Amino acid sequence: MRHALGGLGVVAAAVLLMVSGAMNWQFGYSLGKTELDSQIFGLASAASDGLKALLPFFLFASIRSKQWSQAAAGVALWCVCLAFSLTSALGFASLNRADTTGARAAQVAGYQDLRTDLTRARDRLSWIPEHRPVGTVESDINSLKQHRRWRSTSGCTDATARKSIKFCQGFHQLSAELAAAREAAQIEQKMSALQAQLAIVPNEMAQTKADPQADVLAELTGMKLEDVQTALIILIAILVELGSALGFYVALGNWKIYEKRNPVVVSRPRTRETANDNKTPTTAPITVVEATTKAATPKLVAPQNDIERFFKERVADAEGCSLTATALYEDYCDWCDDLEKEPLALPTFGRQFGELGVHKAKIAGRIRYIGIRLSSGMEDEDGSTQSSVAA
């Protein structure tokens, strides 16, 4: 689970670093006057973004080794790279947000104009008097023009007799009705066109606000809309830059790859027989720190790690025996399985086991640990647990 979480963290940090690098590249590219200048500035900006992600590792190493001048230089360089990346991200985020909100505002305005025109057309249509269809009215007018009074009044321009006046009044009423019918037809045609345009408008254009997120936050916080938009731009820039700057350091720290291990002190005397059997056997300590023979005041001892526990439980001293590194590691993996622990990698296990002070030599092309055997009795790779060791 620890490695899975660390892997996910590394992936997320890599995505943020790529986003930040793209922002820095675009910002640096925009600074050049020629194509070559733009490429140079873009590469320098992207390189500074990558250095920003690596500097926390260098800084931590300098602090551990107490190289304070390098640590101070790393802090200064990291701050400069972070500030440069932050300004690039701010410019990129503000430009894109302005373009997005501006385009959305134009779309919303266009949509509202269409709605306004449709409302006005409906209002204008409601003002037009009742009328019959254009064809029906034109047919009635054409019938009147065939009447003899149409000719006698010169097209209703010279009506003096009562019947002629009445005839012309009917004609003018039909003319007014025809005009109303034609205007209504035009308005209905315009309304159909507006409705067709509204039907193809995307749903996002129907929004009543150009920046709904900022509007909601402004209503909740009581801040001005412009201040909320600025705060959102700063938040996005900080998220990208801090995530890309410290994401790898935090994610890889989950594996404790920089955990400082205390030196292990193991006191295990080993008896060596001499050629003279009458002499008392001498002991040769295989410890990192020589054990003292005098009584000392008890001291606090750090808890044993897994390698020390495995050594204590599964390994025994045996003069004249040796054990290959592979067999030792396989027994360690079995021990971890019994305790439901996750074993260390072979190189890490070999490094930590070597800190216990066991003598190690390369014999017949294989790395062997001298003077030990497995308590479990598991055979070595060559089929035996005993192997003579050259003096």
Q: pLDDT for 341-373, tens place per residue?
A: 889 998 898 888 888 888 888 888 888 888 898
One domain for residues 287 and 253: no
One domain for residues 238 and 285: no
Report the domain count for the chain: 2
Cα–Cα distances in angstroms (integers) from residue 108 to residues 40, 112, 205, 211, 294, in the given order: 41, 6, 5, 10, 89
One domain for residues 69 and 205: yes
One domain for residues 111 and 208: yes
**pLDDT tens by residue, 27-82:** 778 778 888 888 888 888 888 888 888 888 888 888 888 889 888 988 888 888 88
- pTM (2 decimals)? 0.39
CA distance 374 to 314: 6
- For β-strands 282-285 and 269-272, DSSP reports them as antiparallel
What CATH number is attached to the domain comprising 346? 1.10.10.10
One domain for residues 216 and 126: yes
One domain for residues 83 and 119: yes
Residue 318 lies inside a defined structural domain of this protein: yes
- Per the structure block, which two tokens stand in for 45? 């900006």
Residue 369 is part of which domain span? Answer: 269-274+281-291+301-374
- What pLDDT is stored for residue 1 in this prediction? 59
One domain for residues 338 and 205: no
**Percent of the chain at pLDDT exceeding 90:** 7
Mean pLDDT across 113-138: 89
One domain for residues 221 and 286: no
One domain for residues 207 and 238: yes
One domain for residues 333 and 198: no
One domain for residues 122 and 185: yes
2 contact partners, CB below 8 Å, separation of at least 6: 254, 255, 342
Residue 384 lies inside a defined structural domain of this protein: no
Residue 385 lies inside a defined structural domain of this protein: no
- What pLDDT is stored for residue 182 in this prediction? 92
Higher pLDDT, 251 or 294: 251
Residue 379 lies inside a defined structural domain of this protein: no
